[in-house]
Structure 1
């Protein structure tokens, strides 16, 4: 159990963040072994990029069955919504001693935490021998390439869903207070009046100056990034938690169509502002093409969408009836 002790001042300073790199690094974690179903298409696409491209450091850091990923890969956000370039600059500027310490933890493992030792790749060892600054710069370059190929085309849509989640939590805070908000984020997170309690295999109690909460479309469960150098170079813990599936669907709706159509079909219908292919919709909604095809078939038979073939492409568009339903009859 993690117990993160918060004073009244620390609680007042705690906030939500949108962190692109936390989403990127989440695809390197063990969610690949048991991913959340609605994130699986995005995760599969990212892992294909990782296998196809020459990204030796990220391949070294990726884990399949639980393990440690160096913390410097996803630096603590300095603002509410840092850009990917701002975060990559933070990675490249990581102090060499921090890089060396985290690579040592990766190499030797953490027996007290049940984390096994892992071999560093020849590329990682060679860069580390040149100095931590060289490894940090290469890591930033590989993360940029990984981002451009696997995430950049889909990030605006993902960011909108995360921003909508933060908006919902802000409403909960305004109407019911901090205790209600902390108690409703996720079943693994509780508030006991003095500390945020997070179910974990780690046993740690620490007083923190504030907490950063990062909603995630990738994470299958709650993760807490507690700085191992805490107290020396204190950085506030980042609590990553999965955005609820129903909240993801609701954020995409222009009208409350979820109860009528089901959340996935409602989200697809609402997003068809312009014609789109099955693969485009699958990428935008983080669903498999087969799932999107199934839902589009139902919408097509209901007269809410139409389809047209152009060469090898089949594009779907909303019909007038579908548009009126989305706009509430307006």
Structure 2
């Protein structure tokens, strides 16, 4: 178990963000574990045939199935969200002495280096450490190639899920403070006094020291949580709510009784709105154009089944109690 010790300043500096490079790195661990019967099985079933030309030996040597992941691979996002281009620019800008130190730590990490192929990984690490600047160019190039093959085709759907989770977590924080936020974040996470405890395979306590904590919803981190205490900002990656429906092509294959009354598309919209979502997020989930979707949303809102609220520039739709009752009855 690891403990993160909060000061009053740390509570004030809790923030949320997600990034495509964090999902890219986490997905490499999912790929290495190769649990085809697990939650990400549908993704695994399609992704391997797209990876010709990607240096998987390099990438899976950097991101092992368990254990340490170099911090330079997952830089802190500049804002609540970012693009893959700006994320990779941050990776490329990592100081070479930091890169060398983290690669050397990875090469000696007892848990990360378990499993077959250790000699080949050791030789690869020696090659990378011989010229960290050249190594970074190679790593960033392969991460970008892997992103386009494995994650980018699914990014609109993943992005919608992460946005919906952020909206929910901010509501939790506003409604019940940090106690409620951490109580519902993940079964491995608990707040005890000023200590945030996370169940891990190792023991330790880290002082946040007023740096705050970055909370990062990450689809591919499931079922684990990942903790980093590195400067400038410690982070905790966790699975977003609603992850179980990420790879569904539709909310359900069987035609619900409600669909006979309000139509299949509107029934699917109601089923998806367990968490508030914008038009863009819903369109990505349902593979509908925004104008088509807006016709359905206006009708559902006029009937009192949906309502809206503004979150910054976005308008979020969510079910009313009447919508909950209709879905529960169906």
Does TM, normalized by the shorter one, top 0.5? yes
The residue number in structure 2 matching 1:160 is 160
1:9 aligned onto 2:9: yes
* Deviations, residues 117-169 of structure 1 (Å, cap 9, x unaligned): 6442655533431x212111211111111111222232122111101110011
Matches within 5 A, 1:95-174: 95-110=95-110, 114-116=111-113, 118-119=118-119, 120=121, 124-129=125-130, 131-174=131-174
In the TM superposition, residue 33 of structure 1 has moved relative to its aligned partner by 4.5
State the match for 1:40 in structure 2: 41
Aligned 8 A contact 1:21 1:87 in 2: yes
Q: 1:15 & 1:155 partners in 2: Cα distance? A: 22
Distance 1:324 1:267 in 2: 6
Using the TM superposition, give the Cα deviation of residue 36 of structure 1 relative to its aligned residue in structure 2, in angstroms.
Answer: 8.2
1:309 corresponds in structure 2 to none
Partner of 2:71: 71
Instruction: Choose which of 219, 222, 225 in structure 2 pairs with 1:220.
Output: 222
- Contact 2:2 2:205 (C-alpha < 8 Å) held by counterparts: yes
Q: Determine the structure 2 residue equivalent to 1:28.
A: 28
Does 79-88 or 48-57 show the bigger shift? 48-57
Confirm or deny: 8 A CA contact 1:21 1:84 kept in the other structure: yes
> 1:223 deviation in Å?
2.5
2:223 match: secondary structure: coil
Find the counterpart in structure 2 of residue 288 from structure 1. none
Aligned twin of 1:244:
241
2-side partners of 1:241 and 1:36: how far apart? 21
Q: Alpha carbons of 1:260 and 1:220: their partners in 2 closer, same or farther (altered >3 Å)?
A: farther
1:211 and 2:213 equivalent?
Answer: yes
8 A contact 2:35–2:41 mirrored in 1? no
| Alpha-carbon distance in 1 for matches of 2:81, 2:147 | 16
For 1:192, the equivalent position in structure 2 comes to 192
Given that residues 57 and 124 in structure 1 are in contact (C-alpha distance below 8 angstroms), is that contact kept between their aligned partners in structure 2? no
Structure 1 match to 2:175: 175
Aligned mates of 2:169, 2:212 — CA distance in 1: 17
Give the RMSD, CA atoms, in angstroms: 3.7
* Conserved? CA contact 2:18–2:216, under 8 Å: yes
Match of 1:58 in 2: 59
Query: SS in structure 1 opposite 2:190?
Result: strand
2:268 and 2:176 mapped to 1: Cα distance? 33
Contact 1:127–1:135 at 8 Å: present in 2 too? Answer: yes
Aligned to 1:235: 232
Aligned to 1:297: none
Change (3 A) 1:246 1:17: closer
Task: Give me the TM-score of the superposition, normalised by structure 1.
Answer: 0.69
Structure 1 residue 260, shift from structure 2 partner: 5.8
Q: Give the structure 2 partner of residue 277 of structure 1.
A: none
Aligned length: 269
- Scaled by the length of structure 2, the TM-score of the pair is 0.69
Q: Provide the rounded CA distance (Å) in 1 between the counterparts of 2:3 and 2:68.
A: 20
Question: Is the CA contact 2:212–2:234 (under 8 Å) kept in the aligned structure 1?
Answer: yes
- Contact kept? 1:19, 1:77, Cα under 8 Å: yes
Report how far residue 185 of structure 1 moved. 0.7
Structure 2 counterpart SS, 1:225: strand
1:266-277, aligned counterparts within 5 Å?
269-270=268-269
Unpaired runs of 5+ residues, structure 1, are 272-283, 286-314
Deviations 1:248-287 (A, max 9, x none): 57xx99xxx99968xxx9899449xxxxxxxxxxxx76xx
Give the corresponding residue for 1:281.
none
Conserved in 2, the CA contact under 8 Å of 1:26 and 1:218? yes
